[in-house]
Amino acid sequence: MNKDHKVLYSGMQATGNLTLGNYLGALKNWVSLADEYECYYGVMDLHSLTVRQDPAEFRKRARALLTLYIAAGIDPEKNCLYLQSSVPCHAELAWILDCFTYMGELSRMTQFKDKSAKHADNVNAGLFTYPVLMAADILLYQTDVVPVGQDQLQHLEITRDIAQRFNSIYGDVFAIPEPYIGKVGAKIMSLQDPSKKMSKSDENPNASIYLMDDPDTIRRKCKRAITDSEATIAYRDEQPGLKNLFDIYCTCTGKSSDEAVAEFQGQGYGQLKEAVGEAVVGILKPMQDRMAEIAADKSYLDRVIKENAERAYYSANKTLRKVKKKIGLTEMPR
């Protein structure tokens, strides 16, 4: 990892099945960022605990997500890929930052309101303080930039507020992270309702293409995608279902929207859906095969998990020690 580069931090939760939208919108773009940034990508398993998990399945999913990072082409030598729970500094800094965060700030978080409504039988304190743990994740690594979608911008703003508040009291302890401005990943919409994003929690199984879907399932879902009755091949907002299919096709093939529209002029929606299915299979099948290879090599994966956790801990602990010294906690005698 290049210490001369700015630090970029991101991660995903090890719950649910990641979708094509997660891959084309984020993972695919992470691959090349190591040339420009010192990158940390966490498997955010501590965040997942706000919802009850089946322990065996949860462990399996966390390991599978880290495997997927590698299979997607994110080099664990150039990037730090690690399990959040393997670095205890995250939980420790989160508690300290809890004491520098106001109840009013947390109560304004829209994600807390949304998740509370969705999990009304389990509105726990972790759900409320979730943004503070996210702040700790980011601030531990002296992060300069964070790739965020519109739905996560509020969390980055509270992270900046907490860091600035702490720095105003104790000096320049934390870097103040900025939103990542770079190549924007494709925003992939639901195949059944193109007015909303493709989601791993969608109740309609035909709405999302999951990264582990087999080729026949992918083709079938593309054929069932909602379009319109205009029967006109065009890339425009007035035909959102069709536009979404073109976005998927273009992102998978590298073609521009103009090239794709020209390619399918004079053809029906059926031919486009078939081509989209094949394009998606073309990028997901090699990744699925690579994932199976990595998962089968237990010793390699164990080594990656251990070595990357040690690298993450080394960086995180430097920040945590500085924080503890600043606020007056007693250091362990050597």
In the set 78, 200, 223, 318, the catalytic residue is 200
In the set 28, 115, 221, 273, the catalytic residue is 115
In the set 28, 197, 221, 243, the catalytic residue is 197
Domains 6-185+298-327 and 215-292 share a fold: no
Is 197 noted as a catalytic residue in this protein? yes
pLDDT in tens, 213-246: 999 999 999 999 999 999 899 999 999 999 999 9
pLDDT in tens, 271-301: 999 999 999 999 999 999 999 999 999 999 9
Any idea which architecture 6-185+298-327 has in CATH? Answer: 3-Layer(aba) Sandwich (3.40)
What is the CATH T-level fold of the domain 215-292, as seen in this structure?
Answer: Tyrosyl-Transfer RNA Synthetase (1.10.240)
Q: What is the average pLDDT across 23-35?
A: 89
DSSP collapsed to 3 states, the chain = CCCCCEEEEEEECCCCCCEHHHHHHHHHHHHHHHHCEEEEEEECCCHHHHCCCCHHHHHHHHHHHHHHHHHCCCCCCCCEEEEHHHCCHHHHHHHHHHCCCCHHHHHCCHHHHHHHHHCCCCCCHHHHHHHHHHHHHHHCCCCCEECCCHHHHHHHHHHHHHHHHHHHHHCCCCCCCEECCCCCCCCCECCCCCCCECCCCCCCCCCCCECCCCHHHHHHHHHCCCCCCCCCCCCCCCCHHHHHHHHHHHHHHCCCHHHHHHHHCCCCHHHHHHHHHHHHHHHHHHHHHHHHHHHHCHHHHHHHHHHHHHHHHHHHHHHHHHHHHHHCCCCCCC
Is 115 noted as a catalytic residue in this protein? yes
pTM of the model: 0.90
Is 113 noted as a catalytic residue in this protein? no
pLDDT in tens, 174-196: 999 999 876 656 789 999 999 99
Domain ranges of the chain: 6-185+298-327, 215-292
